[in-house]
A and B are shown apart, each in its own frame.
Chain A
């Protein structure tokens, strides 16, 4: 078992209050300039951070870039973070902002050459699967925000409120985006289901 896996399994066996206390201690140490403490925070949050970024950007490579940018922003802003607040919520908002910035920059750069499909992600296990191919295509018919909301909610389990905070939209908007995204996916996938 690797050290990181051991760390994760150790953390999972701890009560929530202990996990919070441990995280708070790491944040305080990182604020005092302890690089090892910041590395531990990276280790704990990078998977979830990746999931947030991946829900917003179009490709695995962009998600990787956004995660790195997000952690850099977080490191620079660490002095302003209040250790009694939940670190994850603060970090994921930074990750979402880094991803949204990256999407905006990509749109400006690629204004004349927009792809007509969502680029395939890192390791696409469903390339041969017709439903997944159509799902991939159907996702391009959603707005960026609808796509982000459905992935963050249905795959990552974030609440409407958390999604709203991350994307800078009201909770009600996140809720209605989710409703419309699901309706659009059902409609777009209805034909392929009957064909299969």
Chain B
């Protein structure tokens, strides 16, 4: 502590005078009563909706995190089930007639052009 105290005897007298002027009540009963008054006022305090909200923030965040993990797991399971169904349906698919597409030949193109020119 770097504080400079009053250092002469006159100042000591001043300090003792100040001490008397600012003396706190000494009786233990006074302090018990003050404590009771403070606690009575504290008990009446309405903490307000924001304080209530503040109290629920952590549980709400934890619940949100759990819900997120559960939703992710559910989505993953659903996706996996879909894939399994798709693979199974491919493996067990009934034989269907395969239609083949026949690519037009150049010969056909040429004939078409001639028909177009002569048709004009």
Count of chain B residues with Cβ under 8 Å from any Cβ of A?
A: 35
Query: A42-B39, A71-B42 are known contacts. Are A121 and B22 too (CB-CB below 8 A)?
Result: yes
Contact B14 A189 (CB under 8 A): yes
Contact B31 A4 (CB under 8 A): yes
Query: A71-B38, A72-B45 are known contacts. Are A186 and B10 too (CB-CB below 8 A)?
Result: yes
Number of A-B contacts (CB under 8 A): 107
Contact B25 A123 (CB under 8 A): yes
A38 within 8 A of B: yes
Looking at chain A's contact residues, the main secondary structure is helix
Count of chain A residues with Cβ under 8 Å from any Cβ of B?
A: 48
Stretch at the interface among B1-9, B72-80, B93-101: B1-9
Contact A39 B39 (CB under 8 A): yes
B28 within 8 A of A: yes
Q: How far is the CB of A143 from chain B (nearest CB, A)?
A: 16
Q: How far is the CB of B44 from chain A (nearest CB, A)?
A: 9
A135 within 8 A of B: yes
Contact A46 B35 (CB under 8 A): yes
Interfacial chain B residues near A64, Cβ < 8 Å: 34
Contact with A along B38-54 (1 / 0, CB 8 A): 11011101010001001
Q: How far is the CB of B4 from chain A (nearest CB, A)?
A: 8
In the complex the two chains form, what is the Cα distance from A65 to B3 in whole Å?
Answer: 30
B window 16-43: CB within 8 A of A = 17-25, 28, 31-32, 34-35, 37-39, 41-43
Identify B18's interface contact among A125, A150, A160, CB under 8 A: A150
A window 138-176: CB within 8 A of B = 139, 150-151, 153-155, 159-160
A28 within 8 A of B: no
Contact B41 A125 (CB under 8 A): no
Contact A46 B34 (CB under 8 A): yes
Identify B21's interface contact among A38, A42, A126, A160, CB under 8 A: A126
A76 within 8 A of B: yes
In the complex the two chains form, what is the Cα distance from A123 to B22 in whole Å?
Answer: 9
Q: How far is the CB of A16 from chain B (nearest CB, A)?
A: 16
In the complex the two chains form, what is the Cα distance from A182 to B80 in whole Å?
Answer: 83
A27 within 8 A of B: no
Stretch at the interface among A48-56, A81-89, A97-105, A107-115: A48-56
In the complex the two chains form, what is the Cα distance from A132 to B109 in whole Å?
Answer: 124
Interfacial chain A residues near B34, Cβ < 8 Å: 46, 50, 64, 67-68
Chain A to chain B contacts (Cβ below 8 Å), 18 pairs: A4-B28, A4-B31, A42-B39, A60-B25, A68-B41, A72-B41, A76-B45, A79-B51, A121-B22, A123-B23, A123-B25, A126-B20, A126-B21, A129-B17, A135-B14, A135-B21, A154-B18, A155-B18
Known: A67-B38, A131-B13. 16 other contacts (CB 8 A): A2-B28, A2-B32, A38-B39, A42-B38, A46-B38, A55-B22, A72-B38, A76-B47, A76-B51, A79-B51, A125-B20, A132-B17, A135-B17, A154-B15, A186-B10, A193-B10
